[in-house]
């Protein structure tokens, strides 16, 4: 079977599982060979690079989840604005599903409009905010947050 065809036949989750199996086998083989005198796998610089790459991947996944949640929120808000109940028209519509909770939030002294997003599985918290400039440009920001949305960390990776 050609290599290019083989990749199409494996779901992404299976590829990840195979990679983890191989990684564990290599780690156990290394441990068996060296015993308790295991040298460090990485020097400090490699460790920093690995941590940065892992954080970028986590940021990328969270940003995609935030974007998908906000797309669902925009769809709901548009529907409510057009056809919804009068008390919800032109207001902050909150969204609650089995997977995500979105509500309007605010950071003191910030001109940005914020939405606080709670994901159920896996449990994670994000903040989507935007600012409309005088010339009509829109700046969007994505953050990872804690459960009470008092601490935000800017997501560095693009989705």
* Beta strands across the sheet bearing 113-119: 95-96, 100-105, 113-119, 124-132, 138-145, 152-154
The DSSP call for residue 10 is S
The pTM for the full model equals 0.67
Q: What are phi and psi of 132, to 5 degrees?
A: -100, 115
Nearest to 115 by CA among 140, 133, 136: 140
CA 136 to chain CA centroid, Å, is 27
Strand partners, 96: 101
Write out the E strands in the chain.
Answer: 95-96, 100-105, 113-119, 124-132, 138-145, 152-154
Q: Looking at residue 139, what is its pLDDT?
A: 94
pLDDT in tens, 55-83: 999 999 999 999 999 999 888 877 766 66
- Please report, in tens digits, the pLDDT of each residue of the chain (159 residues total): 455 555 556 666 677 777 778 888 887 887 788 777 767 777 888 889 888 988 999 999 999 999 999 999 888 877 766 665 554 544 455 888 889 999 999 888 989 999 999 999 889 999 999 999 999 999 999 999 999 999 999 998 775
**Domain definitions of the chain by residue range:** 3-39, 56-154
d(CA 143, CA 154): 4
Q: Which two tokens stand for residue 8?
A: 């199409």
């Amino acid at each position: 079977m050609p290599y290019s065809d083989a990749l199409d036949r494996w779901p992404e989750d299976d590829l990840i599982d195979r990679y983890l199996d191989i990684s564990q086998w290599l780690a156990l083989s290394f441990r068996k060979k060296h015993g308790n005198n295991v040298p460090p796998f990485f020097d400090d610089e490699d460790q920093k690079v690995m941590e940065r790459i892992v954080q970028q991947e986590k940021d990328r996944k969270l940003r995609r989840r935030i974007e998908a949640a906000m797309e669902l929120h925009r769809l709901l808000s548009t529907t409510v604005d057009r056809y919804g109940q009068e008390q919800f028209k032109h207001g902050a519509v909150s969204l609650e599903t089995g997977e995500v909770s979105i509500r309007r939030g605010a950071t003191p002294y910030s001109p940005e409009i914020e939405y606080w997003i709670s994901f159920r599985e896996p449990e994670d918290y994000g903040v989507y905010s935007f600012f409309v400039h005088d010339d009509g440009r829109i700046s969007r920001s994505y953050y990872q947050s804690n459960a009470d949305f008092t601490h935000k960390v800017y997501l560095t990776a693009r989705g």
